[in-house]
Amino acid sequence: MSKRAGEGDAASPKKPKLGDMNSPGKPPPVGSIAQLDPAATGTDAKKGQQKVAFITGITGQDGSYLAELLLEKDYQVHGIIRRSSGFNTARIEHIYGHDNLFLHYGDMCDSTCLQYLVSKYQPDEIYNLAAQSHVKVSFEMPEYTAQADGVGVLKLLEAVRAAGLEKKTKLYQASTSELYGKVQEIPQKETTPFYPRSPYAVAKLYGYWIIVNYRESYDFFATNGILFNHESPRRGATFVTQKIVRAACHIKMGKQKQLALGNLDAKRDWGHAKDYVRGMWMILQHHEARDWVLATGEQYSVRSFVEKCFNHPLINMPVEWKGEPGTAEEYGVLKSEPGRKLVVVDQRYFRPAEVESLLGDPTLANEVLGWKPEMSYDDLVNDMMVAEMDAVKEGRERFMQ
C-alpha cells in the first residue's frame, strides 16, 4: 500500500519520484530523544518517542511547508497523495530522501483507505489540508468540492473513531476566511457570523461545523484554523497572486503580452504560507481545542498587488489605469508607453457571487498562542517575484497546479 519516499520502479524517469507505492516500506526508527526540548521538537515528553503526524494534501503549498517544519522538529511524517498519471510532487521533491518521511496513496473521498492508514500508523497529529481549494473551480465542480472538502472531513473524523484514537489523535482542519463571504463585520474574528458565497465555502462550512460537533460530542481534540489568504513561491499558477507574479515576469522577459484578471477591487488579507503553517502547528500544541483566526490584519486589493508586482525592481514597468474603473472596460497600460496594454479585465474571471473584502482579526492567536506573522506583505511579494523570475530566466515551469 505504501512505499518509502524516494523509492520507485526502475522503469520510471530518473528524477525524484513517488514510485508505484504498492510494496510496504520499512518504517523509520522510532528512537528516544528525550534529552531534547519537547516544545521545540516532535518528541513526546511522556513516552520519549517521536510523534507521528499525518498530512493530507502534502503536495500542496501548505502541505510542503508543513512537512518541512515537522521534519525539522523530528516528527515521523506520513503524507497522503492522490494517484495521478503524471508527477504532482514537485513541491516535496527536495525532501523525498528524508528518513522520517513516508508517502501513501489516498483520497479524501475514500473512507476505506483513510481508515486503513489511520489505524495502521496511529498518528498523534493529523493536519487535514487536502481540498479542492480553487473557489472559481468550485462553481464548475460543486459536487466533487462538497465530497472532498466537506464530507471528506467527516470520513477522516470517523477513521479516527474507528481506530479508537479519539483520546490520542489531535486533528487540525484547514478552514478558510471564505466562510465569511458576504462579511457581517469588519474585521472578521472567531465570533463573526459566516455567510459563504461559493460551493467551496459552503463545503468548508460543513467541514467547520462537523469538527465542532465531534469535538463537543466525543471530546475530540479537533480544531479549525480559519486562515486568511496566504501565498508563497509555491502557490499554484491559477491562483490570482501567482498568476499576477508569473505574468509580470513573463511580460518583462517577452514571453507574454498581457495579463487578464477579474475583479481588480477585491480586497484580501494576504500573508506568507510559512507563517501560517507555523500557526497550524502551534494550534495543535495548545492545551485547549478551539477554533482560531490566523491573519495579518492588513488588507490590499488585487489592483494594488498588480501595481506592487509591476513596480518591483526586477520588472520596473509601472502600470497606469485607463477606462471606467470597476468595469470590464478598465485596463492597465505601461505608464511610459500608454499605447501598450499590460492588464485587461475579463468577465470570465468574475465569480458568480463575489467576495469583495476579507480582513482578519488575529488578536486571539496573537495573545494566546503567541503567533504573529514574521514576513511582511513586501517580503511576500519579493519572495514570489524573485523565485518566479529565476525560473523564467532558467526556462523552468513552476507549480502549474
Residues catalogued as catalytic = 176, 178, 200
Residue (of 123, 109, 205) closest to 155 by Cα position:
109
Beta-strand ranges (E) seen in 246-315 are: 259-261, 267-268, 271-272, 292-294, 300-301
- For CA atoms 91, 96, 101, 107, give the dihedral sign: positive
Gap between the Cα atoms of 152 and 130, Å rounded: 9
CA angle, corner 294, sides to 288 and 300, nearest 5? 170
Report the sign of the C-alpha dihedral through residues 32, 37, 43, 47, in that order. Answer: positive
Distance CA(150)–CA(145), nearest Å, equals: 7
DSSP H/E element including 389: helix 377-394
Residue labelled with grid coordinates 458576504: 182
Contact yes or no for 279/69 (Cβ under 8 A): no
Listed in sequence order, the residues at least 6 apart from 146 whose beta carbon sits closer than 8 Å to its beta carbon are 199, 202, 203, 206
Q: For the CA atoms of 106, 107, 112, 114, what is the dihedral angle to 10 degrees?
A: 70
Question: Is the separation of the CB atoms in 280 and 127 below 8 Å?
Answer: yes
Amino acid at 393: K
